[in-house]
């Protein structure tokens, strides 16, 4: 690969780009340069999954304290100190960023702390004015929050929440996806008065309908004023804060408004169109199964491709790219049957088809259970959890698993292995339960709840 400054130049220091760079350089000996205009680690580490999950933990403490009292513990009154938490959060993110940077340097990657754009199929230009050539270029710039223009008053995104100097007393969150729902409960758990607008009929579009309804009930039960079928028509600022008018004509005042109405691929200004690349309607970079674009020397992984916007998927895509191009070990990231979780309270874990999706494909059987978990039932709480298996009526293969429960994210990771392997309902039935646990219900559901498209015998 002589004649180029690098064998690979990566634009973007998030999960996918870092993995690709580290594997290409550290395991396959490629000369790799990487440019990142912000902090190393990308959305997940710096302003997404990691800080969000730490805030989830913090926001769950009041419920844990209340439950402790019901279990007989004498717990003195307590309050949440945002500056203390924020300082610890910043320190943890600094540590993680240093670890990402150190991993790249140890692998032999040259880091450029600057924005990079593509000049031609083998050339990138940094904001510093430096120009580098590379045999291959990998775009891994991720996504960014989408906010409508001309709203009439300043609004925040999920990125901004981690940077607050103090918590607002009154907060409106606009959106019904996992980011909106998670942060609504996080902020409510930290003592903020929260209202949530979603223009659709039900939150968490794309997840199982029963699971969505159960999470919506839990959100309302945690004191959040969740209004579906509602959107913002205008925003303005006055001496009482941000005045919000919604679609039903009602008005309310808030100290802050967060828009969590989706994310878009971060491709603006990269110079890709000048190369002849036609971007998708959201600005995403079209790629094939090998993450290769229509320009043979340019590849893309992660959220910037809008294939499946999950951190572990971006990491797989980056690893597959590096092994294929530099390690003579070709393989493609598998986007089929990828488990996911929504970190609300309770959590929602899912893998495979929803009941509605499966019913459209052919005859299916549904096995489900809903019950009060032992931990909170003992204290007299009305909390309920749900577990559902969607089963192909002909092959008996489990097509989908859906869990709404505390620690559903942990459970769905393990259930995902079985579903990915093509386990049948009988495989689940043959598995002995671990008692007493919530997860044992996954292997003890014997009674058929309902069927779709199944013709009765006889």
Six token digits for residue 288: 């094939």
* C-alpha to C-alpha distances, 235 to 155, 160, 180, 224, 242, nearest whole angstrom: 9, 19, 19, 21, 7
Q: In 3D, which of 362, 363, 337, 359 has the Cα closest to residue 350? A: 337
Q: What is the mean pLDDT of the chain?
A: 97
Per-position DSSP letters for 244-276, written without gaps between them: EEETTS-EEEESEEEE-S-EEES-TTSS-GGGT
pLDDT reported for residue 227: 97
Confidence class for position 2, pLDDT limits 50, 70, 90: low
Average pLDDT over residues 269-277: 94
pLDDT tens, position by position, 184-205? 999 999 999 999 999 999 999 9
Using a 10 angstrom Cβ sphere, with 0-12 exposed, 13-18 middle and 19 or more buried, the burial of residue 243 is: middle
435 is catalytic: yes
Pairing of strands 385-392, 364-371: antiparallel
DSSP 156: B
Q: Over pLDDT 90: what percentage of the chain?
A: 97
pLDDT reported for residue 230: 97
Number of other CB atoms surrounding residue 447 within 10 Å: 8
Domains of the chain: 6-143+264-326 (3.50.50.60), 158-261 (3.50.50.60), 340-452 (3.30.390.30)
Calculate the dihedral angle through the C-alpha atoms of 299, 301, 42, 147, rounding to the nearest 10 degrees: 100
CB 375 within 8 A of CB 437: no
Report the alpha-carbon distance of residue 453 to residue 373 in Å, rounded: 33
Six token digits for residue 133: 């050539």
pLDDT reported for residue 91: 98
Average pLDDT over residues 310-320: 98
Using a 10 angstrom Cβ sphere, with 0-12 exposed, 13-18 middle and 19 or more buried, the burial of residue 316 is: buried
Using a 10 angstrom Cβ sphere, with 0-12 exposed, 13-18 middle and 19 or more buried, the burial of residue 62 is: middle
Six token digits for residue 454: 């199944």
pLDDT tens, position by position, 52-101? 999 999 999 999 999 999 999 999 999 999 999 999 999 999 999 999 99
* C-alpha to C-alpha distances, 112 to 23, 115, 442, nearest whole angstrom: 18, 8, 49
Whole-model pTM: value is: 0.96
Q: Is the pLDDT confidence value at 216 over 70?
A: yes
pLDDT tens, position by position, 7-48? 999 999 999 999 999 999 999 999 999 999 999 999 999 999
Q: If DSSP codes are grouped into helix, strand and coil, which group holds residue 398?
A: strand
Confidence class for position 1, pLDDT limits 50, 70, 90: very low
Task: Considering the candidates 136, 319, 435, 452, report the single residue annotated as catalytic.
Answer: 435
DSSP 25: I
pLDDT reported for residue 201: 97
Report the alpha-carbon distance of residue 280 to residue 267 in Å, rounded: 11
Six token digits for residue 96: 């993680």
pLDDT tens, position by position, 100-125? 999 999 999 999 999 999 999 999 99
Q: Over pLDDT 70: what percentage of the chain?
A: 99
Residue 217's contacts (CB-CB under 8 Å, 6 or more residues apart) are: none
Q: If DSSP codes are grouped into helix, strand and coil, which group holds residue 53?
A: helix
Length of the chain: 458
pLDDT reported for residue 337: 98
CB 45 within 8 A of CB 96: yes
Confidence class for position 129, pLDDT limits 50, 70, 90: very high
Confidence class for position 150, pLDDT limits 50, 70, 90: confident
Confidence class for position 152, pLDDT limits 50, 70, 90: confident
pLDDT reported for residue 149: 86
pLDDT reported for residue 457: 58
Per-position DSSP letters for 109-127, written without gaps between them: PEEE-S-EEEEETTEEEET
- 414 or 457, which is more confident: 414
Q: Where are the beta strands (DSSP E) in 279-325?
A: 298-300
CB 34 within 8 A of CB 112: yes
Report the alpha-carbon distance of residue 455 to residue 363 in Å, rounded: 8
pLDDT tens, position by position, 382-432? 999 999 999 999 999 999 999 999 999 999 999 999 999 999 999 999 999
Name the packing angle between helices 82-107 and 15-22 (round to 10°): 30
């Amino acid at each position: 690969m002589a004649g180029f400054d690098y064998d690979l130049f990566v634009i973007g220091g998030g999960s996918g780009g870092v993995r690709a760079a580290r594997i290409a350089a550290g395991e396959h000996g490629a000369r790799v340069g990487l440019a990142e205009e912000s902090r190393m680690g990308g959305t997940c580490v710096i302003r997404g999954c990691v800080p969000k999950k730490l805030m989830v933990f913090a926001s769950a403490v009041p419920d844990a304290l209340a439950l402790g009292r019901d279990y007989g513990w004498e717990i003195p009154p307590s309050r949440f100190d945002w500056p203390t938490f924020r300082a610890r959060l910043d320190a943890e993110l600094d540590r993680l960023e240093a670890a990402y940077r150190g991993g790249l340097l140890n692998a032999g990657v040259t880091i450029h702390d600057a924005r990079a754009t593509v000049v031609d199929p083998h050339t990138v230009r940094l904001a510093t004015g430096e120009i580098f050539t590379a045999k291959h270029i990998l775009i891994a710039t991720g996504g960014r929050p989408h906010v409508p223009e001309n709203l009439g008053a300043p609004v925040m995104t999920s990125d901004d929440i981690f940077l607050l100097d103090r918590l607002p007393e009154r907060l409106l969150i606009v959106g019904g996806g996992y980011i909106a729902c998670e942060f609504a409960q996080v902020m409510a758990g930290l003592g903020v008065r929260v209202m949530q607008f979603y223009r659709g009929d039900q939150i968490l579009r794309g997840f199982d309908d029963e699971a969505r309804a159960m999470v919506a009930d839990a959100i309302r039960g945690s004191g959040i004023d969740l209004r579906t079928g509602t959107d913002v028509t205008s925003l303005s600022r006055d001496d009482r804060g941000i005045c919000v008018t919604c679609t039903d004509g009602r008005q309310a005042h808030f100290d802050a408004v967060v828009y969590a109405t989706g994310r878009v691929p971060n491709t603006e200004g990269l110079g890709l169109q000048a190369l002849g690349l036609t971007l998708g309607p959201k600005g995403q970079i079209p790629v094939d199964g090998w993450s290769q674009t229509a320009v043979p020397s340019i590849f893309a992984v992660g959220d910037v491709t809008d294939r499946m916007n999950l951190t572990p998927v971006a990491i797989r895509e980056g690893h597959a790219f590096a092994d294929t191009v530099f390690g003579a070990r070709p393989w493609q990231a598998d986007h089929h049957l990828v488990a996911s979780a929504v970190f609300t309270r309770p959590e929602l874990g899912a893998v495979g088809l929803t009941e509605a999706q499966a019913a459209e494909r052919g005859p299916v059987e549904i096995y489900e259970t809903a019950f009060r978990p032992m931990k909170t039932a003992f204290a007299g709480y009305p909390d309920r959890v749900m577990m559902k298996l969607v089963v192909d009526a002909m092959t008996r293969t489990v097509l989908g698993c859906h869990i709404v429960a505390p620690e559903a994210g942990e459970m769905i990771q393990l259930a995902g292995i079985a579903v990915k392997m093509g386990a049948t309902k009988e495989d689940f039935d043959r598995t002995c339960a671990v008692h007493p646990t919530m997860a044992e219900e996954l292997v003890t559901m014997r009674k058929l709840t309902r069927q779709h498209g199944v013709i009765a015998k006889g």
